[in-house]
Chain A
Amino acid sequence: DSGVTQTPKHLITATGQRVTLRCSPRSGDLSVYWYQQSLDQGLQFLIQYYNGEERAKGNILERFSAQQFPDLHSELNLSSLELGDSALYFCASSPLSSGSNGELFFGEGSRLTVL
């Protein structure tokens, strides 16, 4: 158990809908990362937050947004869903905002299926 909790574990929805994925980082970790894993694209970095502030942005679509709340949990909002958004969405946390010694602790992921 990594200590990172993601909900829901599975989600099935229709095209055009909006969903929210939630992540609770390990106790004390200030950094949260979101990754998308699909069969054809591998593990793609979406966005990173540190202590409530956005720190880095990757290949995140404009239809997607995220935030980190004062209690450090994070939410990833996916809107106007398309079939291609079906994927595993991982949250990872790390105690460091920067520095070369950070390892990531991954949650078990949220599997999104868009029909």
Chain B
Amino acid sequence: SQQGEEDPQALSIQEGENATMNCSYKTSINNLQWYRQNSGRGLVHLILIRSNEREKHSGRLRVTLDTSKKSSSLLITASRAADTASYFCATDINYGQNFVFGPGTRLSVLP
């Protein structure tokens, strides 16, 4: 199984609702990052949380990190149809030499 695994694999919500995605990982990390990918496009960095941080905010995004449980969550508040995309967590396990991506969560926000 992978170092990072997102849960759920797919999520469908109505516009205006909040979306929560989770990421679990196996080994110690230096930081954890969340990326977004629109269908067939390149990944776009959303937010980075360091291993000594517990929570971080960026606009409508809120990320938490629990190193004791080796898990992270990404909350998107007041979702919009434009948030429809796949979301990936990536763990930095070797100081920038290798970012390990999970399989992603496909988010659909219905208007």
Q: Which residues of A contact B (CB under 8 A)?
A: 2, 4, 31, 33, 35, 42-43, 45, 48, 55-56, 58, 88, 90, 92, 94, 96-109, 111
Contacts and interface: CB of A to CB of B under 8 A. Distances in A.
Contact of B99 (A33, A42, A99, A109): A33
Given A42-B102, A101-B31, A104-B33, 17 more contacts: A43-B101, A45-B101, A56-B94, A56-B97, A56-B98, A90-B43, A92-B43, A98-B97, A99-B96, A100-B31, A100-B50, A100-B95, A105-B45, A106-B43, A106-B44, A107-B42, A108-B41
A48 B45 contact: no
A106 B98 CA distance: 14
B10 to A, nearest CB: 14
Interface residues of B, number: 28
Contacts of B99: 33, 45, 104
B31 A109 contact: no
A60 to B, nearest CB: 12
A102 B42 CA distance: 17
B40 interface: yes
A107 B94 CA distance: 22
Nearest to A47: B98
Contacts of B104: 42-43
A48 B43 contact: no
Contact of A45 (B31, B43, B98): B98
Contacts of B102: 42
Q: Which of B42, B50, B51 has the most CB of A within 10 A?
A: B42
